[in-house]
Amino acid sequence: MNATTAEKNKDLPPPHEGVLELADNLWWTWHEEAHALFASLDPDLWAACGMNASRLLASIPEDQLQEKLKAPDFQDRYHAVMTAYRAEMGKQATTWYEGRRTDGEIAYFCMEYGLATWLPFYAGGLGVLAGDHLKACSDLGVPLIGVGLLYKEGAGVQRISADGDQATEFLEIDVDKLPLERLENEDGSPLLVSLPLGDRSIEVQIWKLQVGRVPLYLLDSDVDSNMPDDRAITARLYPSEAGTRIKQEIVLGIGGVRALRLLGHEPAVWHMNEGHSVMLVLANALDHLERGSTLDAALERVRSNTVFTTHTPVPAGHEKFSLDLIRSLLVPYRAEAPELVEQLIDEACESGESFGMARLAMRMSNRRNAVSELHGKVARGMWAHLWPDRPIEQVPIGHITNGVHLQTWLAPEFVRIFDEKFGLGWINAADDPETWQAIRQIADATIWGTHLKLKERMLRFLASRAIDGEGVNRLSLDPRALTIGFARRFVTYKRADLVFKDAERIAALMADPNRPVQIVMTGKAHPADQAGQALLKEVYLRTGMPEFAGRFVFVPDYNMDVARYLVQGVDVWLNTPRVPNEASGTSGQKAAMNGVLNFSILDGWWAEAYTPEIGWSFGDPDPIDDEETQDDLDARDLLDTLENEILPYYYDGSPQPAKWIGMMKNSIQQVSPDFTARRMIKQYVEQLYRG
């Protein structure tokens, strides 16, 4: 270390304190050097701890830790990481957001957050998107505060029996081994928010999770003073029982507003990410009434700074609750402000019978967005009845297409190559198409070699995780075979079975010794979705059929780790929804950035991104009403495209398929700038967060 670095380092804490500080902020999860620093303390224990730094530091023997921390090589890397961390977290750091008109803080409410596999507070795409939202806001310096729930039993782990039956197992999380801080009063007792609920009041405590610069507050009803049933309100994500579910949403919406006030926040914008958090409008309107506003003025003020993002074009996905249930829980609020509660009930109810969360959110926000261009169009049609005087194209719902957090999803091997070719700092210009032009200067052999390495890594992972027909884990897949990945929630409209519709034909294609094909699938069905579970079972049972065994595997318990291996390691990413049910989809974006070619029907984000240079489309973007016939047509086109277009490109007779690699580069170059969370957050700031 030279004198100037020593000089610079003198303000840094000693390594032991420093690694504890780093572990407490999720910043390390998306900075590869920080990740590697923890891994180097004990690679085996690191894997055993599920790559959770807090757990590692709680588990590693003290003398071993001290020994490691003293090694000069470790100290050098520690100083580099810590310097970068301090520079970014410091008050003087310059960010994109700086210099823009600042209206104040943005409160972001969501039911789920997917930040890391070992933080089981997410179920799927909505949560992973919210996690990426927070990380990108941190990168850009956007003054956002996240609000969610702490689920002590998490989202459940999926187990699949040999018969293909799905079971969900809930395991209590160990809060001591997570970077969670419980907010406390000076005497060490938990800081509590009281919340009237039906005939009683409950209390919730607040946990803080630091995501780079962005704090995430998680509410938790597991407090001593609550009755046992109330303590369990926030135990699990998305419970099937409607009563628990709406109670969770009251905790999130009303509890969330009260927690922020208690902590001294006065957000300028309230962002409801999906309708689950719409109760926040009740809490905010009550505050305005308390401060002396009239009812109309209170509602107007709430509308003026509330924004709403809708995430589903499927009507069944819009949550509704029985009015009796809502009324029984809102009794104390009605006692306080009868007219307000009646008015909100009016706004939420279509024809007097059920309380629509998304409907209320539409009515009580002044800016609204869907999550892709096509979804915007669908959403305007779906909600047109709320604006009967307007033609459909003037229904006030815009769109901001989803994007993904590059540092979370791009393989570190590619990051290193791009560091070399694009110049340092390129990640901060990743939403600029210019940045990606240098991909042309990267040799085919480098791209292909990296891809094969990532594919091998995925195959090793599958060998320990995937299940084939005999219920055993074994490395049965061939690294040279074209490998298709499919990772989706199992709901019928996503049509996981479409590729198997003509089972004989796909089996023959897969078994062709000159052009073999393999399929890797993963995904969960909601425990209350019988049709989804039946679909999962049907698909799963194929892994055991002789014509598919060894070529088709299923990975139980789809989560962010599984997603990362798959979107970095397969050759082709398949998506088969019934158009236009996919609001956006983001897994295909993750795949595209890693040079994995998308093969998808033109729905969601792919309808915007697709060009024949970067992947393939199939099926009918303008479906007919007869679903069964449409499924057959789409299935046939899927296999035609696979057989006649995709396979010849992949198996071109050379060890390094030139046209394929060309498409990989095109995919990386075209998709990455447009579909990063960085682009998405800039649009949220400009279109939604600024008045």
Ligand X SMILES: *Cc1c(COP(=O)(O)O)cnc(C)c1O
Distance between CA 388 and CA 340 in Å, rounded?
24
Q: Give how far the C-alpha of residue 529 lies from the chain's centroid of Cα atoms, to the nearest Å.
A: 21
Left (φ > 0), alpha (ψ -120 to 50) or beta: where does 164 sit? left
Q: Is 580 in the site for ligand X (CB under 6 A)?
A: no
Q: How far apart (Å, rounded) are the C-alpha atoms in residues 501 and 48?
A: 40
DSSP calls for 584-616: --SHHHHHHHTTPEEEEES-HHHHHH--TTTEE
Q: What is the nearest approach in angstroms of ligand X to the Cβ of residue 48?
A: 22
Are 615 and 570 spatial neighbours (Cβ–Cβ below 8 Å)? no
Q: Is 355 in the site for ligand X (CB under 6 A)?
A: no
CA atoms of 134 and 673, how far apart (whole Å): 19
Residue closer to ligand X (CB basis): 124 or 623:
124
The nearer residue to ligand X, 205 or 310, going by C-beta atoms, is 310
- Considering the complex, state which of residue 25 and residue 587 has its C-beta at the smaller distance from ligand X: 587
Please identify, using beta-carbon distances, which residue of 356 and 403 lies nearer to ligand X: 403
Q: What is the DSSP letter of 384?
A: G
What's the rounded Cα separation, in Å, for the pair 518 and 552? 6
Q: Which is nearer to ligand X, 128 or 592 (CB)?
A: 128
The single residue listed with the structure tokens 């970077």 is: 179
Characterize the bridge pairing of strands 367-370 and 398-399. parallel
CB of 689 to ligand X, least distance (A): 23
75 burial (CB, 10 Å; 0-12 / 13-18 / 19+) is middle
Nearer to ligand X, 469 or 619 (CB): 619
- Of positions 459, 553, 563, 664, contacts ligand X by CB under 6 A: 563
Here's the x/- map for ligand X, 634-673, by CB under 6 A: it reads as: ----------------------------------------
DSSP state, 190? B
CB of 605 to ligand X, least distance (A): 9
d(CA 80, CA 9): 9
Task: Spell out, one character per residue from 90 to 129, where the chain touches ligand X: x when CB under 6 A holds, - when not.
Answer: ----------------------------------xx--x-
Segment near ligand X (CB under 6 A); pick from 136-144, 431-439, 455-463, 586-594: 586-594
8 A C-beta contact, residue 156 and residue 528: no
x-or-dash pattern for ligand X, window 473-502, by CB under 6 A? ---------------x--------------
Helix (H) or strand (E) holding 138: helix 125-140
Annotate each residue in 122-161 with x if it binds ligand X (CB under 6 A) or - if it does not, as one string.
Answer: --xx--x---------------------------------
Judged by CB under 6 A, the residue of 586, 617, 667, 670 near ligand X is: 586
Nearer to ligand X, 289 or 555 (CB): 555
- Interface with ligand X in residues 299-328 (CB under 6 A): none
CB 348 within 8 A of CB 355: yes
Counting contacts by CB under 6 A, is residue 585 touching ligand X? yes
Q: How far is the CB of 675 from ligand X (least distance, A)?
A: 11
Which residue lies nearer to ligand X by CB, 109 or 558? 558
Compute the residue count for the chain. 691
Instruction: With beta carbons less than 8 A apart as the criterion, state whether 378 and 313 touch.
Output: yes
Largest CA distance in the chain: 77
Among 309, 587, 617, 676, binds ligand X (CB under 6 A): 587
Joined tokens for residue 643: 């057989």
**Which tokens sit at 439?**
């991909």
Task: Identify which range of 145-153, 216-224, 302-310, 580-588 contacts ligand X by CB under 6 A.
Answer: 580-588
What is the end-to-end Cα distance of the chain in Å, rounded?
50
We find the least distance from the C-beta atom of residue 590 to ligand X, in angstroms, to be 6
Out of 248, 533, 559, 617, which residue is the one contacting ligand X (CB under 6 A)? 559
The residue ranges that bind ligand X (CB under 6 A) are 124-125, 128, 488, 558-560, 563, 585-588, 590
